[in-house]
Amino acid sequence: MESAKMITNGAQWQDGRPVGLPGVRRPQVESVFLYRPEEQWTYSHHASITFFRDRFHAVWSNGRQDEDAPGQRVLTSSSADFAHWSEPRPLIDSVTDETGVERVLTAAGFHQHEGTLVAYFGNYGPNKETTQLQAVTTTDGETWSPVRDMGIPVNP
């Protein structure tokens, strides 16, 4: 009796070692720099890329010098071909609370639904207090809505 082939999202193992699947090819990996600061705003992380309205769109967290520090903002850039990107610009620039303390903004990815692109981001204080999930939307990939508070006290 021939054993049935099992398909899983994990590695296939034979004699205690992972083995490749016949016919499966490794995709070509491409990379490109979207932002290369030299002196200011030198820390970037939390990147997300999506394809919307015939363009690639990227968002990422951008801090003055280190991860998740007060004043961190969210940048965006777009490209028609993945090789040539628009000059990065703040999707959401640094913000301060009502007492003048700078907040931390953390890019949290994209979602698309019925012709609208949503960019999510976390907004919280320097000690991770008053955490909020917020979002902006666009239907053309260029003009973004005012910030919307999602009413969820999480930072993805």
Q: Is residue 139 part of a domain?
A: yes
Comparison of pLDDT for 6 and 81, the residue scoring more: 81
pLDDT band at 19 (very low <50, low <70, confident <90, very high): confident
pLDDT band at 150 (very low <50, low <70, confident <90, very high): very high
User: How many CA atoms within 13 Å lie on the side-chain side of 16?
Assistant: 0
Q: Is residue 11 part of a domain?
A: no
Query: Is-contact 82 104, C-beta < 8 A?
Result: no
Q: Is residue 39 part of a domain?
A: yes
Residue 78 CB contacts under 8 Å (≥ 6 apart), including other chains: 55, 56, 57, 58, 85, 86, 141
The per-residue pLDDT for 96 is: 95
The residue-averaged pLDDT of 3-27 equals 68
Bridge-based pairing of strands 116-124 and 104-113 is antiparallel
Q: Is residue 141 part of a domain?
A: yes
The residue-averaged pLDDT of 134-155 equals 95
| Stated pTM of the model | 0.82
The per-residue pLDDT for 7 is: 62
- Number of compact structural domains in the chain: 1
Comparison of pLDDT for 15 and 80, the residue scoring more: 80
Q: Which domain holds residue 104?
A: 25-149
The residue-averaged pLDDT of 142-146 equals 98
**93-139: pLDDT as tens digits:** 999 999 999 999 999 999 999 999 999 999 999 998 999 999 999 99
**49-87: pLDDT as tens digits:** 999 999 999 999 999 989 999 999 999 999 999 999 999
Q: Is residue 15 part of a domain?
A: no
- State the DSSP string of 42-68: -EEEEEEEEEETTEEEEEEEEESSSTT
CB burial of residue 23 (10 Å; 0-12, 13-18, 19+) = exposed
The per-residue pLDDT for 122 is: 97
The per-residue pLDDT for 92 is: 98
The per-residue pLDDT for 2 is: 58
Q: Is residue 143 part of a domain?
A: yes
Q: Is the pLDDT of residue 22 over 70?
A: no
Q: Is residue 154 part of a domain?
A: no
Q: Is residue 14 part of a domain?
A: no
